[in-house]
Structure 1
Amino acid sequence: MPLPKPLRQSKHSGSSSQPRRNICKQCHNLDPRGHTSSVCESESSKEVTSNLTLILDALQLQRTKETTDGGCRFCRVLIKALDNFFDDWKGFRGRIILGMKEKGTIKISIDGNTWRGKLIEIYAESASRAPWPALGHAHHIPANAGSDPTFNFARRCIQDCLTNPKHVACKPPSKALLTMPKRLLDVGRVRVPIRIIDTQGKTFEYATLSHCWGTGPLLKATKAKWSKLVSNIPFDALPPLFQDAIIITRQLGIRYIWIDSLCIIQDSSRDWETESAKMGAIYENSYVTISATDSGDSNTRCLVDRRKAIKIPYENTAKKEFELRARLIQDHHPDTVEREPARPAGHLMTRAWALQEHTLSTRILHYTATELLFECKTSYRCECLPSRKTYPTTPSIIPKAITKRSKDLSAVWDAWQRVVEQYSKRDLTVASDKLPAISGVAAKIKDATGSSYLAGLWKDNLATDLLWSSISSPSDLKLYALEKYRGPTFSWASLNAPVSYYAPDTDERESFKSTIKLHSSSVALGGLNPLGAVFDASIRLCGPCLPALLSSNQKEGGSWEYVLLVRGTSAIPVSNDCLLHESEIVNKSGNSEKTVRRALIGAEMSVFKTPVLCLGVAKYDAWMSGLILGQSERVLGAWERLGTFSAGMEGFGKAEEQVVTIV
């Protein structure tokens, strides 16, 4: 749970000016008022509430006495909640983060990967008085995802979106502009056969399913099965997740649903390329996307029982008995301060295809392990926070950027780069899907800008797009180049690595200036999708170039570090794309020459100091950022990207304009 940012420090120590005795130094009696770290926020002109975040030592909390006549009774409440939901917390040596809000609930989280994203929420039972004034109540979450209250919540969210005049971005395009899927699954009514239909250019109201395929067997449309799929699919023959998706579709009053594995003929490369290219529009134009967020494959249902809240007995100083409630929730709410969208947790959030589906959908129902979340292009709601306030959402990222775009289109380019950063962290079952699985988002960017697409980069934003960096961490020590070509080295799609872009502040953005000119570009498509897979690509650039030596050295622990050695300057740190190694090529003159290239799995790593070329891509203030290039073994005379650098301009005084081809 992130620590809240104080809006303003209270002039007083809390909402109550009355002194209180026997305040626990550890948990502050689970009361956000009166602590030196309490923060007062004005939610309205009449109401001021206190917030407090405390960091507890886990071992110290574990030592709290469990006897009724000793220790803090409030700490015992925390211990009972932790014992019920985090079984292995005892013995943990670390921090417990306690978040409290006056008249609100108490949230507990623990540092560490074991409990990442999980929260325990403590609250007063709705039908009874709170045991102490600062504790509030919580919204009820039904015990089953397929309950009537949950379906009613889903219907309300969708209807509010459809009828609210403020949801301009959520309005569907005219029927003439709708891109319909070629096929839909007709789920009809209970007594009518389920079958696949051909839409034949007509428009239908339909739902879509966003789901993990998993590694096990999956019901898929194939040429051999086609005749049966278009006539009758017995409900019992469908995998459990598809059954649940059909139940949800019927409950929402919709007749049709699009499921990728059934509505695209999987053993027809032409059909897959044609329909997958329309996938972004298919999700965007659907009535609602059913996101099986917590389901790992089609055999895992989404209409499941949820873990029930527990009762925690509590006795105040007057010996009056109360029953508190505690439940497990996820840290999924939007961050309104940082303008970050909701963070649903589950297997689906690790899948690359799903990000595009969620970014482009108009409305989404996220079926998580703890509750139902709703997102549209305008607002967010969930069962624990069902209010109708406007929050940042994933489906609103692209529409808002397009709406706010100025003549320089910076908002659109920023939105693309933020999506790519999230996308690059996710997994693909089929490695060659790297570009196709984000082509729907690329189509929206292309429509908004009219720019040419260069295998993951944009011609009209080439300087900043080229300066992506591979994110290095201890887990990336064995990051290698791909065995099979998937994209040019200047594209992030050429690696299986999380990437990031530099986010300049306002002053840096104003001083940022590209130092390159694009002479020509070439992209050879790998299929029918113009924004999909490629089997070759290159760009020919003119910009300031400087020869340098790239030096490698192995650090303690086995990782490798690389620095640039440029005459007249100190060593320049390098952000390498992956592991690098020295190699030899035969140049155009027929002579053998040393170069550096991205290392393949099994490459022999060694210490080296080898010539490379530095290409200055952009400058801002007194800094130059650019690419480190090594001579290509694959294309004679061309260069391949090895990483990026950023250095003071003084080192580039002797740089000369040069035309280079990067592949």
Structure 2
Amino acid sequence: MDSLTSSLRPAAALGRQLLLLGGLMSDWCRTRPNEYGQQQCRGCDEVCSLLRWGEVQRRKDSQFRGCSQSRFFHSNFRELDMCATLSGCDTCRIFRRAFLLAQTTGLGAQSLEDPDQQWPVYAALDVSDGGDLLLLSIEAPHETVFRAAVRLGSEQCHTPRDPTRAGGRLRADFEELGKVVRDCHENHDCSWKYRWSDQNPTWLLEILHQNQVRLVKGPKNPVDYVVLSYSWGDPTTMTAAEWARIKGAATKTTNGTPVDQRLHPFSTWSLPETMQDAITITESLGFRYIWIDSVCIPKGTNWDTEASRMHEVYGNAAFTLAASSCTKATDNLLHDRSAWRHRNKACKLRGKWLYNDSPSLNAVRLGSPVSQRGWTLQEERLSPRILYWAGQRWYWSCPERQVAELSELSYSNTKDSPTGWSLPQNFLEVCRTGDEQQLNDEWLDVVEAYTRRDLARAKDRFLAISGLAVRFYNAKVESNEQLGTEEYLAGLWKDELARHLAWSVHHAADPDNHLQQFAPSWSWASLPLKVHTNTKHKFKQSEHFRLIGTPGVAPLPDKRKDRGQVIEERGRTVKVLEVEGRLRRFISEDSRKACWDDIERQHGGRTTFNFSIYPGCPVYARNIEDGRLVSMEAHRGEIVGQLDYLPTNGSKEKRGVGVCLPVGAEKDVYCLELGDSAMLLLRRAPGTSDAYQRVGVCLGYTNRKGFFYGCETRKILLC
């Protein structure tokens, strides 16, 4: 029987599938023509019920806004796929495409067909001001595994042609993409406005014929080259052999020179799949050179120096290719785009047209594995032109145009910005205009985006944004003749130091993963990786706070050439700040300790405090779950601080001991005034009288404006 089955012809195999469709799935996949001449399955009947529900709600109230309960639509994605493919159900084809388009990565699209993730498919109707949506979901027993949406309209929208090359391979149409790239380079001002210099990278990968490449010195004259932005991946989730392949792509050196194997033509097949496909895309668009970090920064090269030149490498590139569809360097960037297996056509149910929206540019940017990697933040924000290669289509972003393959994007689809710019290019535009306030705001945005990302090596904490720091400094220095007063201080900037010191964490971090071996306690860079921070709040600096100096750091250089690079390298070495400001204890000596649960109240969706059980007494309390610390002096308003770290369990072997504030040491906390309603929470460094380490921050205490009245101004060291 097995041999007979295996010898079935393709037509017989299709017949077997149809028998299965007619048997096991007949209830939900049997179709019939509807009033619009389109195929409609039983699942579509459930969608029609949702549309009827929306009609009833609108008859009752023309201003109705709300969402229906979910209705079962299909048993799983495979059944949905078979209904779309074998039954030809037009609605299921729209729904199938919606699920696939919602997957940024190629792995996400593949996982829809994973036998272990075949869960029921549901649909709900969302009636809103922005237009009705069918919200789709695939629900596991205790979680939603996949989400997608289909838009509804009263008029038929333009149906673009499928963004694939003719034939069964479903590959990208490079001719269409080439037109977009050429239009930018030939007709947009951004082709010259944001170019940093006429310098090429030190090394480039030259693309030859027949899948051959070689490493060459960057030509003396400027050339058009593409830069690859990708994720190496998490080595803990790979086999040793796979991680060795990724690491093995690095160019080795002999006596400081790349090995001959790389200087002579070699096969692209020796490189990981993401790099191979990036080379194919680059060549298909007519470019001869590509820059890939591990290949074009040979081992033995001064990595610190090369890292601080990233503003030049990315700023001078023809465009940056962001490998949004890859979770690791051994993933293919090019693969079949199965969302377009069926012809793109109009579909209608109960008078409503159904159509697929392209996911927004921000959804693709922030939903890709590349966005979780620390190094790629500066790669994106230093790039004037970016090609995001997602699982089912590409996106182009430059300061003058955003395109989702065959579909123009409005600025509202990328970022609601008063300037109309999409987020990737905001940093470069502000650097170009040189507005000082906007520059400082942009740096704080960089910090928030950066601290939540991961790094393969924690010691790269400063290196991975060094290019951004150099670009920021140079934006403040208008010419080589003007040196300015700005200094880089371990991830912060001198001219607005008080504001930059007032960063906070959303939730106290795990002290065991701190990075104070690389950065001082007062810098956000000392936090563990992947911590969410807040840097943006109303801030007015205190007239009593000032920076005195940076003990132990080399004086500022007089040199003007490459000064930004020198300033950044010097800034990494700053460990201690000497400052002056008003200092006092955060909790009075006679305060009583309270249980957090006894004083916290939830009222009207906000948190309040009730100290009625401690009438006339100064009180303090600490929430050891999230790091909040509250102090209330008798007959005055309370003030709430946020500690940077959770307490350890007391084990002296843990790295976090000495970093966090131990339970019971709350009265040892001092506070240094930074602004009208901003203070640092400090603890005296062991064995010193005037040196303090940061343990947290307190912001927005409007009910205690006089907290520092009468306090003396002191000079202290922050370390």
**TM-score range relative to shorter protein:** 0.7 to 0.9
Quote the offset at 1:633 in angstroms: 3.2
Which of 129, 132, 142 in structure 1 is aligned with 2:163? 142
Distance in 2 between the 1:82 and 1:194 partners? 38
Which of 660, 683, 688 in structure 2 is aligned with 1:630? 683
Distance in 2 between the 1:32 and 1:387 partners? 34
Q: Which residue of 1 aligns with 2:379?
A: 357
Q: Which runs of 5+ in 2 are unaligned?
A: 1-46, 81-88, 101-111, 236-242, 415-420, 478-485, 555-564, 598-622
Number of paired residues?
567
* Corresponding position: 1:242 with 2:275: yes
Maintained 8 Å contact 1:538/1:662: yes
Q: Which residue of 1 aligns with 2:297?
A: 264
Distance in 2 between the 1:372 and 1:612 partners? 52
232 and 56 in structure 1: CA distance in 2 versus 1, 3 angstrom threshold: same
Instruction: Kindly provide the CA deviation profile for residues 611-631 of structure 1, in whole angstroms up to 9, marking residues without a partner as x.
Output: 221111011xxxx21101111
Q: Which residue of 1 aligns with 2:199?
A: 179
Instruction: Kindly provide the CA deviation profile for residues 42-65 of structure 1, in whole angstroms up to 9, marking residues without a partner as x.
Output: xxxxxxxxxx974232268899xx
Distance in 2 between the 1:518 and 1:421 partners? 24
Distance in 2 between the 1:236 and 1:81 partners? 32
134 and 182 in structure 1: CA distance in 2 versus 1, 3 angstrom threshold: same
Q: Which residue of 2 aligns with 1:534?
A: 572
Q: Pick which of 536-545 and 607-616 moved more.
A: 607-616
Sequence identity percentage:
21
Instruction: Kindly provide the CA deviation profile for residues 440-477 of structure 1, in whole angstroms up to 9, marking residues without a partner as x.
Output: 111121111242111111111112111111121xxx66
30 and 363 in structure 1: CA distance in 2 versus 1, 3 angstrom threshold: farther
Query: Aligned partner of 1:178: which letter?
Result: D
Q: Which residue of 1 aligns with 2:631?
A: 565
Q: Secondary structure at the match of 1:283?
A: helix
Maintained 8 Å contact 1:32/1:134: no
Q: Secondary structure at the match of 1:397?
A: helix
Larger fraction in helix: 2
Q: Which residue of 2 aligns with 1:289?
A: 320
Q: Secondary structure at the match of 1:412?
A: helix
Query: Aligned partner of 2:672: which letter?
Result: L
Maintained 8 Å contact 2:673/2:679: yes
Which of 569, 578, 581 in structure 1 is aligned with 2:645? 578
Which of 505, 518, 521 in structure 2 is aligned with 1:486? 518
Distance in 2 between the 1:385 and 1:634 partners? 64
Q: Which residue of 2 aligns with 1:13?
A: none
Instruction: Kindly provide the CA deviation profile for residues 149-200 of structure 1, in whole angstroms up to 9, marking residues without a partner as x.
Output: 6323322222222233xx434425679x333210000113337x41101126
* Corresponding position: 1:207 with 2:226: yes
Distance in 1 between the 2:179 and 2:687 partners? 58
Q: Which residue of 1 aligns with 2:67?
A: 55
Quote the offset at 1:303 in angstroms: 1.1
Quote the offset at 1:609 in angstroms: 3.5
Q: Secondary structure at the match of 1:194?
A: strand
Instruction: Kindly provide the CA deviation profile for residues 342-377 of structure 1, in whole angstroms up to 9, marking residues without a partner as x.
Output: 745221111111111011111111111221011113
Maintained 8 Å contact 1:118/1:331: no
Query: Aligned partner of 1:651: which letter?
Result: F
Larger fraction in strand: 1
Distance in 2 between the 1:333 and 1:98 partners? 24
Q: Which residue of 1 aligns with 2:429?
A: 400
Q: Which residue of 1 aligns with 2:709?
A: 653
Distance in 1 between the 2:372 and 2:510 partners? 21
Instruction: Kindly provide the CA deviation profile for residues 564-586 of structure 1, in whole angstroms up to 9, marking residues without a partner as x.
Output: 53655444211111124799xxx
381 and 82 in structure 1: CA distance in 2 versus 1, 3 angstrom threshold: closer
Q: Which residue of 1 aligns with 2:457?
A: 430
Distance in 2 between the 1:107 and 1:138 partners? 21
After superposition, residues 1-400 of structure 1 pair within 5 angstroms as: 26-27=50-51, 54-58=66-70, 90=120, 97=126, 108=136, 118-121=147-150, 133-143=154-164, 150-164=173-187, 167-171=188-192, 177-190=197-210, 193-199=212-218, 201-214=220-233, 215=235, 216-217=243-244, 218=246, 219-223=249-253, 226-266=259-299, 268=300, 270-308=301-339, 331-333=359-361, 343-383=365-405, 385-386=407-408, 392-400=421-429
Distance in 2 between the 1:332 and 1:360 partners? 21
Q: Which runs of 5+ in 1 are unaligned?
A: 1-22, 40-51, 67-72, 124-131, 335-340, 584-596
Maintained 8 Å contact 1:117/1:331: no
273 and 74 in structure 1: CA distance in 2 versus 1, 3 angstrom threshold: closer
Q: Which residue of 2 aligns with 1:411?
A: 438
Which of 608, 614, 618 in structure 1 is aligned with 2:671? 614
105 and 625 in structure 1: CA distance in 2 versus 1, 3 angstrom threshold: closer
Quote the offset at 1:655 in angstroms: 2.0
290 and 552 in structure 1: CA distance in 2 versus 1, 3 angstrom threshold: farther
Distance in 2 between the 1:429 and 1:478 partners? 18
Q: Which residue of 2 aligns with 1:471?
A: 506
Distance in 2 between the 1:54 and 1:395 partners? 34
Quote the offset at 1:635 in angstroms: 6.8
Query: Aligned partner of 1:371: which letter?
Result: R
Distance in 1 between the 2:472 and 2:659 partners? 39
* Corresponding position: 1:455 with 2:490: yes
